Amino acid sequence: MIGNPLSGWLINIGDQLPGVRGWQVMFFTEGILAVLAGVAAFFFLINGPEKAKFLNVDEKFALKEIMTQEDTVKDETGPRGVFAAMRNGRVWYFTLIYFCLQIAVYGVTFFSRSRCPR
């Protein structure tokens, strides 16, 4: 909801600046924001519940216990590697669902664009 109007605004601003095009301003601005978000994530995200300052000792222990249980279940029941996953019927089932969703989205998008007056 915000990204598309923001991109259009950046393109319009860029077209008013001498020596640059609107798409260049948009790509530069959005690229810088992505890089800044990546740097902020590196410094502010924590690496595990034991380093979380906002959890008390009991919450850290409970979270770590649940994460260990999840890892055990993944190791016991989940496919190992890409080729094992490709032999799994559930992977193909969810792939088919995702494919159908994307076809529907693209169909609606292109149909609405072709029907809009220019």
- Please provide the distance, in angstroms rounded to a whole number, between the alpha carbons at the two ends of the chain: 21
Per-residue CA distances from 45 to 32, 37, 41, 42, 64 (Å) = 19, 11, 5, 6, 17
Q: What is the pTM of this model?
A: 0.50
Kindly list the domain boundaries of the chain, sorted by start residue.
1-56, 79-118
Tens digit of pLDDT for each residue in 71-85?
888 766 666 778 888
Tens digit of pLDDT for each residue in 35-67?
999 999 999 998 888 888 899 999 999 999 999
d(CA 82, CA 102): 23
d(CA 3, CA 7): 6
d(CA 19, CA 7): 19
